[in-house]
Structure 1
Amino acid sequence: MPHQPIPPPHRTYARAMRAEATKPENLLWQALRNRQLEGFKFKRQVPLDGYILDFVCFEARLIVEVDGGQHSGAIGDAVRDRHFEAQGFRTLRFWNDEVEKELDAVCRAILHEAEGRIG
């Protein structure tokens, strides 16, 4: 299924979210950027199909979301995850405090999933 063109407001909003990233998002971005995670290329705050993805590796079809308490039990997140699952993506979700306190473990989990989706 081809992706929809990105409406200019979504592109603008994604750009603003990159500029106003949360501390956990910044911490994780420092670990993922520039192919630092075993060569996997991640992008951040990517507008796609009407959603903004925190991090995505298109090569592994892997989406990584860093969530705060407002996402606890969010039905919208489940709908979104199913939307991308139908397109062959896998979504990993981590809580803000998980990223801040256990960044190495989070990166290992991301790497494990990415490697499993490539080979």
Structure 2
Amino acid sequence: QRFHTAESKTVALEGAGSWAEGKYRLELRTEDKFGKAVTLTKFFTLYNLKEKTVPDHAIEWHSSIKDAGEPGQTARFAWGSAAKDVYALLEVYRSGKPLERRWIRAGKKKELLELPIAESDRG
């Protein structure tokens, strides 16, 4: 797929909506103004919250869904494991001080973790 940076700063990955969950490699190749070859390689993970399994058979996987907001809203994170029984220690800090500490569990699936955003969370 051809792409010109003078016309746009983003590139659409055609058909990505139908790709399977997993790890992917994106490679962009071009020439600089001196004719020298330039290559950029990026690795990324595609996931679908509607799918129950964890992408790429990961022992531990997590991703922010909504990590900022206003008081009264909820921060949302997805996490999970491809292993049968996995426990993780969740620690929540506000202003550098521990607020909450608890064990959370996942087993061969994704879990949704929701944390309320309080007035005391304002920066």
TM-score normalised according to structure 2 size = 0.27
Q: From the two aligned structures, give the one with the greater helix fraction.
A: 1
Give the number of the structure whose alpha-carbon radius of gyration is greater.
Answer: 2
Of structures 1 and 2, the one scoring higher in RCO (CA 8 A, sep 6+) is 1
Q: From the two aligned structures, give the one with the greater strand fraction.
A: 2
